[in-house]
């Protein structure tokens, strides 16, 4: 039973390019969360999605960042016109519909984005 | 405004001794508190949690204590093992599910 799958594991982009990060949740999980970890910092919440719905995007930068979780396929975090400050590890986590808040998320291994 | 704080960036203990990791929070609306463990180049792994209606939860070598009046929780690992060396994150959630708020982490090193 595969866990949360994120790809690519490493992504290098030049300034101004677009970055697309993919996340396939665990089988049976319908909630997806994206977190970002900047160097020497903790995990910062970005967005919480269910299938075809954005539930909470309070942590998303207002510009250049977008996320989706379509009916079919993985969740996508998209960063347009990347800048050096976007370099970070991006983690996706998933949970089932009936998750109790005290069970914790299942995290993927992350995508390490480097902007050069 | 950082709602979940881990004031010790690092902790070093001897194998077999107790490790105590601390976490403070400011938001009284948090109802659940969780600890995650993270190895380099991997995602965090859920360890243990506690509800705000309890003051202690134990799972094997791991015990979490909650002092709600002080808005403080701690994770005790006893006995500590070298394989416990990792970054430990404290996190907090409201009762309506959704996002968790994480601290900046404490790097634990257990020396053989």
How many C-beta neighbours within 10 Å does residue B58 have?
A: 12
State both tokens at B76: 């005790």
Residues A81-93: pLDDT tens digits?
Answer: 999 999 999 999 9
* From A6-10, A18-22, A48-52, B104-108, the region with the lowest mean pLDDT: A48-52
**Beta carbons of A48 and B98 less than 8 Å apart:** yes
Contact B23, B72 (CB under 8 A): yes
Tell whether A54 is within 8 A of chain B (Cβ).
no
Q: How much is the pLDDT for A101?
A: 57
Separation between Cα atoms, residue B62 and residue B82, nearest integer Å: 15
Tell whether A48 is within 8 A of chain B (Cβ).
yes
What is the pLDDT of chain A when averaged over all its residues? 91
Q: How much is the pLDDT for A40?
A: 79
Residues A64-110: pLDDT tens digits?
Answer: 999 999 999 999 999 999 999 999 999 999 987 655 556 788 999 99
**Beta carbons of B46 and A48 less than 8 Å apart:** no
Q: How much is the pLDDT for A23?
A: 97
| Preferred mutation among A32, A57, A59, A105 to probe B, highest tally of B CBs within 10 A | A105
Which residue ranges in chain B fall short of pLDDT 50? none
Beta strands in chain A (DSSP E): 5-7, 10-13, 19-24, 29-37, 43-50, 53-56, 65-68, 75-79, 88-96, 106-107, 111-115
| Preferred mutation among A49, A102, A110 to probe B, highest tally of B CBs within 10 A | A102
Residue A1 has pLDDT above 60, yes or no: no
Contact A23, A32 (CB under 8 A): yes
Q: How much is the pLDDT for A96?
A: 79
Tell whether A102 is within 8 A of chain B (Cβ).
yes
Contact B65, B76 (CB under 8 A): yes
**Beta carbons of B100 and A45 less than 8 Å apart:** yes
Contact B92, B27 (CB under 8 A): yes
Separation between Cα atoms, residue A95 and residue A67, nearest integer Å: 17
Q: How much is the pLDDT for B2?
A: 82
Tell me the shortest Cα–Cα distance from B18 to chain A, in angstroms. 24
With tokens 């390490």, the residue in question is: A112
Tell whether A8 is within 8 A of chain B (Cβ).
no
């Amino acid at each position: 039973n595969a866990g949360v799958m994120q790809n690519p594991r490493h992504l290098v982009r030049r300034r101004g390019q677009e970055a697309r990060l993919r996340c396939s949740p665990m089988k049976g999980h319908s909630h997806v969360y994206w977190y970002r970890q900047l160097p020497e910092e903790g995990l910062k919440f970005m967005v919480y999605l269910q299938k075809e719905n954005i539930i909470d995007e309070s942590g998303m930068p207002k510009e250049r960042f977008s996320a989706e979780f379509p009916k079919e396929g993985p969740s996508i975090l998209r960063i347009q016109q990347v800048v050096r400050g976007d370099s970070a590890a991006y983690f996706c986590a998933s949970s089932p519909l009936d998750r109790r808040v005290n069970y914790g998320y299942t995290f993927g291994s992350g995508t390490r984005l480097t902007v050069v | 405004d950082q709602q979940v704080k881990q004031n010790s960036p690092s902790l070093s203990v001897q194998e077999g001794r107790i490790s105590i990791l601390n976490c403070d929070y400011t938001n009284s609306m948090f109802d659940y508190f969780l600890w995650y463990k993270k190895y380099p180049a991997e995602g965090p792994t859920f360890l243990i949690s506690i509800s705000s209606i309890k003051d202690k939860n134990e799972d094997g070598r791991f015990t979490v204590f909650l002092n709600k009046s002080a808005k403080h929780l701690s994770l005790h690992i006893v006995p500590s093992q070298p394989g416990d060396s990792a970054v430990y994150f404290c996190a907090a959630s409201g009762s309506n599910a959704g996002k968790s708020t994480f601290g900046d982490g404490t790097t634990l090193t257990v020396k053989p």
